[in-house]
Structure 1
Amino acid sequence: MPGRRVVITGMEVLAPGGVGTKNFWSLLSEGRTATRGITFFDPAPFRSRVAAEIDFDPYAHGLSPHEVRRMDRAAQLAVVAARGALADSGLETAALEPHRTGVTVGSAVGATMGLDEEYRVVSDGGRLDLVDHAYAVPHLYNHLVPSSFAAEVAWAVGAEGPSTVVSTGCTSGIDALGYALELVREGSVDVMVAGASDAPISPITMACFDAIKATTPRHDDPEHASRPFDGTRNGFVLGEGSAFFVLEEWESARRRGAHVYAELAGYATRSNAYHMTGLRPDGAEMAEAIRLALDEARLAPEAIDYVNAHGSGTKQNDRHETAAFKKSLGAHAYATPVSSIKSMVGHSLGAIGSIEIAASALAMEHHTVPPTANLTTPDPECDLDYVPLHAREQRTDAVLSVGSGFGGFQSAMVLARPERSPA
């Protein structure tokens, strides 16, 4: 059944400062920030010492001791979020057709925290050149292979259909949903449990980003360290998190009386084939992804009520995005509110795309555009409406969410109200 319309009927978000979808939206709508000094390890040796950490207790969220022992933190977040999304959808695991239910998990760096910690243990804190594997956790192999994330989520929700991991850097969260969208749309499955998870706040990740000076050194003011589109920004704040969704066909959801957050109306991805970390200033590749996503959604640029930006807080990215919005939306770009929630929850790498899709759906649900926190000094080269400091009430029927990732990945997704989007 190609061409089926696909909607979100379940959602769960685990984000810094907002564990659970309700708490997450409260943080965004109030413009609060969850960035703070790193507590997971001693950050003193590092250039950047701030992060957006989650206060997450796996046992309090229903994970068993066996699951906690077996899974890396990112996998734990994924399983809890996936279970929450399924519960929110109103679908019972026992009522699902296992072979018609699939899973897609996005992750940029996989089990980084687990691997980092286990290397510290087997090398005796780095003292041993020849490590002793006998000291490793029994399930260390699961940390090594990101496919274990998809397996864990599939087991948790009883899915026996397509199960995969999408890893495209910082666009993984959007691309995982894009892949799931196509599977439901083409009729290969009836239900997809899809989302992303990353927990990268570890010494090795901080060292990598320190080396290229991508993260902010503003450790003396963690709360205001993430400053997308601000003239004083100097790098992003690393975060962690997970967001999962239940996707199903629109007519099926309507027949069972499901609550529908939004339709995934259009998706596209492109690569700039240009540089591992660099971006062309004209934003051509992101603009092309936006144009194709709008075409798939059959919406004109003027239909977009809000843009949820990648907005990482680096000068290169913010200017690249601004150019892309102007190129793809034309004059309407100047009339469209744009904001970055990374100002509040940091940049959780592969997970952030799904977290931002959740923010976009909730913006539609509440007719409220979340703000760009900490935006006090406008950059003259970023001259759009970035909704500084405070949320804005506004009817929001169609939202564009975009992502940009190292390696040149550029992705865009359009969310719309099902009754507004054309059949």
Structure 2
Amino acid sequence: MTGRRVAVTGIGVLAPGALGVKNFWSLLSEGRTATRGITLFDPAPFRSRVAAEIDFDPAAHGLGPQDVRRMDRAAQFAVVAAREALEDSGLHDGALDPYRTGVTIGSAVGATMSLDEEYRVVSDGGRLELVDHTYASRHLYGAFVPSSFAAEVAWAVGAEGPASVVSTGCTSGLDSVGYACELIREGSADVMIAGATEAPISPITVACFDAIKATTPRNDEAAQASRPFDATRNGFVLGEGSAVFVLEELESARQRGAEIHAEIAGYGTRCNAFHMTGLRPDGAEMAEAIRVALDEARMTAEDIDYVNAHGSGTKQNDLHETAAVKRSLGEHAYRTPISSIKSMVGHSLGAIGSIEIAASVLAMKHDVVPPTANLHTPDPQCDLDYVPLVARDWGTDTVLTVGSGFGGFQSAMVLTGPERRTA
């Protein structure tokens, strides 16, 4: 390890109700929700019929008919977010060394929408038990291999260094950025285009979560359906979206005069090796990931100004996370504001970790903690400060953002303002 430090110099976001970083922060800081009834397909047969969708016009973002035909919706999101991040970073055409620039993209469920649509076609709407492959798209292979997401982003930005997709369930968006940081720190790359993308709002995904009753059936109150830490919560709201960052070696970014949005100071990840969907109530594994991230950042619990929670709105997750924060931050947990942006933009599975990193960076930039929307009746067992309903002005120089995923994945990242840490 070289000990090189990692800066965030570019941010791109596509989120429900908010295309672009500026609109994303407006939505969060105003506490607006983007959850609604599903429109991407007919949800009538399903138990949960609400989601957080993006009103996305590929042509308006420079994607032509051939791009749309070739790329899954999630890949389109990633390319558009990557372009915004690159523009924000000031690394324009010719400024990148292709061989020293890499890509890591996180995704939990890959090209779900393309696969769902292609199955509908080759099975003649489900009529054929033996599908007719002659009707399949010539781009179907790209949908089967999620690595196509990293390839599309690499082609879009001209990166010829390390390229990969990280798929660790709902922590993918944290883990892809964490992995990118390690590549910079060890000297394998100088610039990484890193983030995550997901477009899972399709019949097969909704059916899978219906089967285990993980998503909310609060269909008549779509805008208030996502209720993290609320006593009346009854499942998460499925979402979609993408956030992509330009990460650079800190000193190099300073030398070129780049605006440093934040520094990624520490990262940790663990697996509970316990249950595919279940969580131990004591939060030990998430607490351990937090400890590792703090140790890497050379910080203590008292340094944390804000916790950006996983806060999915399921009963077991919110209790598990509350326990983990108490276990890792001790008494400081009771003095630290915590909030879940999933209350506003839903749970976009593998993408949400990166979207939450973007929210954390913007919270530091504006010294504002975004609220937990729809938190009207606090669960007595979730007894920390979850910033209900309204954003809070709060001096925020260091943020802890955490994630939890099916399969037992638990990840944590510590982000600091550009001048927070000394060399």
The alpha-carbon deviation at position 49 of structure 1 amounts to 0.1
The alpha-carbon deviation at position 419 of structure 1 amounts to 1.9
The equivalent of 1:116 in structure 2 is 116
- Residue type of the alignment partner of 2:78: A
- Residue type of the alignment partner of 2:368: T
Is contact 1:269-1:410 (8 Å) kept? yes
The equivalent of 2:95 in structure 1 is 95
Stretches of structure 1 lacking an aligned partner (at least 5 in a row): none
The equivalent of 1:320 in structure 2 is 320
- Residue type of the alignment partner of 1:58: P
The equivalent of 1:156 in structure 2 is 156
The equivalent of 1:236 in structure 2 is 236
What is the SS of the residue equivalent to 1:220?
Answer: helix
The equivalent of 1:298 in structure 2 is 298
Query: Structure 1-normalised TM-score?
Result: 0.99
Is contact 1:298-1:421 (8 Å) kept? no
The alpha-carbon deviation at position 149 of structure 1 amounts to 0.5
The alpha-carbon deviation at position 330 of structure 1 amounts to 0.3
What is the SS of the residue equivalent to 2:51?
Answer: strand
The equivalent of 1:190 in structure 2 is 190
Count of residues in correspondence between the two structures: 423
Deviates more, 1:126-135 or 1:242-251: 126-135
What is the SS of the residue equivalent to 2:179?
Answer: helix
In 1, Cα distance between equivalents of 2:405 and 2:211: 17
In 1, Cα distance between equivalents of 2:254 and 2:98: 21
The equivalent of 1:220 in structure 2 is 220
Is contact 2:306-2:336 (8 Å) kept? yes
The equivalent of 1:390 in structure 2 is 390
In 1, Cα distance between equivalents of 2:419 and 2:22: 25
In 2, Cα distance between equivalents of 1:94 and 1:298: 36
Deviations for 1:355-384, whole angstroms, at most 9, x for unmatched residues? Answer: 000000000000000000000001010000
The alpha-carbon deviation at position 320 of structure 1 amounts to 0.2
The equivalent of 2:14 in structure 1 is 14
What is the SS of the residue equivalent to 2:220?
Answer: coil
What is the SS of the residue equivalent to 2:60?
Answer: coil
1:77 paired with 2:77, answer yes
Deviations for 1:236-279, whole angstroms, at most 9, x for unmatched residues? Answer: 00000000000001111111111111100000000000000000
The alpha-carbon deviation at position 420 of structure 1 amounts to 1.6
The equivalent of 1:349 in structure 2 is 349
The alpha-carbon deviation at position 418 of structure 1 amounts to 3.1
In 1, Cα distance between equivalents of 2:27 and 2:315: 25
Is contact 1:25-1:362 (8 Å) kept? yes
Query: Structure 2-normalised TM-score?
Result: 0.99
In 1, Cα distance between equivalents of 2:95 and 2:265: 27
In 2, Cα distance between equivalents of 1:375 and 1:113: 32
Is contact 1:400-1:412 (8 Å) kept? yes
The equivalent of 1:37 in structure 2 is 37
The equivalent of 1:267 in structure 2 is 267
In 2, Cα distance between equivalents of 1:265 and 1:341: 22
The equivalent of 2:166 in structure 1 is 166
The alpha-carbon deviation at position 65 of structure 1 amounts to 1.5
The equivalent of 2:256 in structure 1 is 256
What is the SS of the residue equivalent to 1:390?
Answer: coil
In 2, Cα distance between equivalents of 1:93 and 1:59: 22
The equivalent of 1:373 in structure 2 is 373
The equivalent of 2:404 in structure 1 is 404
Deviations for 1:44-69, whole angstroms, at most 9, x for unmatched residues? Answer: 10000000000001110011221111
Is contact 1:297-1:421 (8 Å) kept? no
- Residue type of the alignment partner of 1:246: V
Is contact 1:268-1:293 (8 Å) kept? yes
In 2, Cα distance between equivalents of 1:172 and 1:314: 19
Deviates more, 1:361-370 or 1:249-258: 249-258
In 1, Cα distance between equivalents of 2:295 and 2:417: 16
The equivalent of 1:208 in structure 2 is 208
- Residue type of the alignment partner of 2:259: H
The equivalent of 2:131 in structure 1 is 131
- Residue type of the alignment partner of 2:59: Y
The equivalent of 2:310 in structure 1 is 310
Stretches of structure 2 lacking an aligned partner (at least 5 in a row): none
Runs of 4+ in 1 over 6 A off after TM superposition: none
The alpha-carbon deviation at position 132 of structure 1 amounts to 1.3
In 2, Cα distance between equivalents of 1:153 and 1:420: 31
The equivalent of 2:62 in structure 1 is 62
- Residue type of the alignment partner of 1:197: T
Is contact 1:238-1:346 (8 Å) kept? yes
Is contact 1:106-1:176 (8 Å) kept? yes
- Residue type of the alignment partner of 1:419: E
The equivalent of 1:140 in structure 2 is 140
Is contact 1:339-1:387 (8 Å) kept? yes
Is contact 2:226-2:235 (8 Å) kept? yes
- Residue type of the alignment partner of 1:395: G
In 1, Cα distance between equivalents of 2:351 and 2:14: 10
1:418 paired with 2:418, answer yes
Quote the RMSD (CA, aligned, Å). Answer: 0.7
Deviations for 1:309-360, whole angstroms, at most 9, x for unmatched residues? Answer: 0000001000000000000000000000000000000000000000000000
Is contact 2:261-2:418 (8 Å) kept? no
In 1, Cα distance between equivalents of 2:389 and 2:366: 18
Is contact 1:299-1:421 (8 Å) kept? no
Deviations for 1:4-62, whole angstroms, at most 9, x for unmatched residues? Answer: 11010000100000010100000000000000000001101000000000000111001
The alpha-carbon deviation at position 186 of structure 1 amounts to 1.2
